[in-house]
């Protein structure tokens, strides 16, 4: 479980200490009570729940007041989710920080299982868990489950999450909350060059991590977690609890991860990848992962630009591939060719793809 710059185990915490829950929110008054209730209803209760209202214009303040002194409420000028999380973490008194987005919710044993995993792997200063990906009605979404459903990277790698973690980390079994839980622990840094696998709402982080590395980057309004978790992974081992302990509401209308934001998300991920490559000397395996990850993100960005019928931008992005001496491959060549089509033909092509996806979704649901 060694890694360049890792903090020695004796300097880190174990599974003990209070847990501060940070819930950033913006105009989620309808969903926020569900998140708060799931935090307060833990079988291992947190020492505090801090709700940071990032300048909401709905009745978030009134909904929070209903909880009285069971929560701490902080209102701030709208500054983005990274700044909101940071504000909450600055107030926190616990040894551990647990993050929970206001449109997600925890299973009742989430913190109990996670703290048992930390007691079993005291060298790990942070952890994440699996999740159930749910739709707007809170029903489990059809298709891949947990890590495979929440993160595109596993589909892109053609790997099952368990197999991917097995390649980079060490298997550990934890007994907690009346059950056994498969975990993986060790150095996650190299795998993260392929793509993020860490859900903020599942994360528990020891405060020593923040004291050494700092909080989220408030200049990033999207994909801030990609940069943060890669930075944390450069210096501290992780424990991944495979059990789905979070109900993750993915890509809702207005969400930062909705399709309309793919271009912004990908640009932010490229920034994070380049920043991570400067954090520590890369092994040959990590360097190969960096190159593969950068190529994948540039192709994804070019396709996102093509999807909004900006062929010139797509070609500029593909030229960045060429400047890095990275191969276009068949996908890049297809994007370049499509970018030269007239706008009506490009619109028709995308309409056809959307129709095909809807038909496939209907067949999958039947």
For the chain, the structural domain boundaries read: 12-259, 281-365
The pLDDT value given to residue 366: 52
Which secondary structure element, helix H or strand E, spans residue 78, and what is its range?
Answer: none
Q: Which pLDDT tens digit goes with each residue over 228-250?
A: 999 999 999 999 999 999 999 98
* CA neighbor of 264 nearest in space, from 93, 78, 86, 80: 80
C-alpha torsion sign, points 135, 139, 144, 148: positive
Classify residue 68 as exposed, middle or buried by CB count within 10 Å of its CB (0-12, 13-18, 19+): exposed
pTM equals 0.87
Higher per-residue pLDDT: 267 or 1: 267
pLDDT tens string 42-76: 999 999 999 999 999 999 999 999 999 999 999 99
**CA distances (Å), origin 110, targets 30, 174, 343:** 23, 13, 50
CATH class of 12-259: alpha beta
Q: pLDDT by residue (tens digit) across 77-116? A: 999 999 999 999 999 999 999 999 999 999 999 999 999 9
């Amino acid at each position: 479980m060694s890694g360049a710059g890792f903090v020695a185990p004796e300097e880190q915490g174990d599974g003990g200490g209070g847990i501060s829950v940070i819930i950033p929110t913006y105009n989620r008054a309808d969903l926020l009570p569900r998140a708060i209730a799931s935090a307060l209803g833990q079988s291992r209760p947190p020492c505090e729940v801090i709700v940071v209202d990032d300048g909401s214009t709905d009745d978030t303040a009134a909904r929070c007041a209903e909880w009285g002194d069971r929560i701490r409420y902080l209102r701030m000028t709208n500054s983005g989710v990274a700044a909101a999380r940071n504000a909450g973490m600055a107030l926190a008194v616990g040894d551990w920080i647990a993050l929970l987005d206001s449109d997600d919710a925890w299973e009742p044993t989430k913190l109990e299982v996670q703290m048992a995993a930390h007691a079993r792997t005291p060298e790990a200063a942070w952890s994440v868990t699996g999740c159930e990906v749910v739709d707007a009605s809170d029903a489990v979404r059809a298709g891949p489950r947990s890590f495979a459903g929440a993160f595109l990277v596993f589909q892109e790698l053609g790997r099952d999450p368990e197999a991917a973690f097995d390649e980079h980390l060490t298997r550990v079994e934890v007994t907690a909350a009346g059950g056994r839980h498969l975990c993986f622990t060790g150095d996650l840094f190299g795998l993260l060059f392929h793509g993020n696998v860490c859900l903020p709402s599942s994360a528990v982080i020891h405060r020593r991590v923040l004291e050494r590395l700092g909080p989220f980057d408030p200049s990033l309004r999207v994909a801030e977690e990609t940069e943060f978790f890669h930075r944390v992974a450069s210096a501290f081992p992780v424990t991944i609890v495979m059990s789905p302990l979070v109900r993750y509401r993915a890509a809702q209308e207005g969400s930062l991860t909705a399709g309309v934001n793919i271009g912004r998300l990908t640009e932010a991920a490229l920034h994070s990848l380049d920043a991570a490559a400067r954090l520590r000397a890369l092994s040959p395996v990590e360097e190969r992962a960096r190159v593969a990850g950068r190529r994948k993100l540039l192709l994804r960005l070019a396709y996102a630009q093509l999807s909004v019928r900006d062929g010139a931008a797509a070609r500029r992005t593909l030229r960045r591939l060429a400047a890095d001496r990275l191969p276009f491959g068949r996908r890049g060549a297809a994007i370049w060719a499509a970018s030269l089509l007239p706008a009506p033909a490009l619109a028709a092509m995308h309409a056809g793809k959307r129709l095909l996806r809807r038909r496939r979704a209907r067949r999958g649901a039947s």
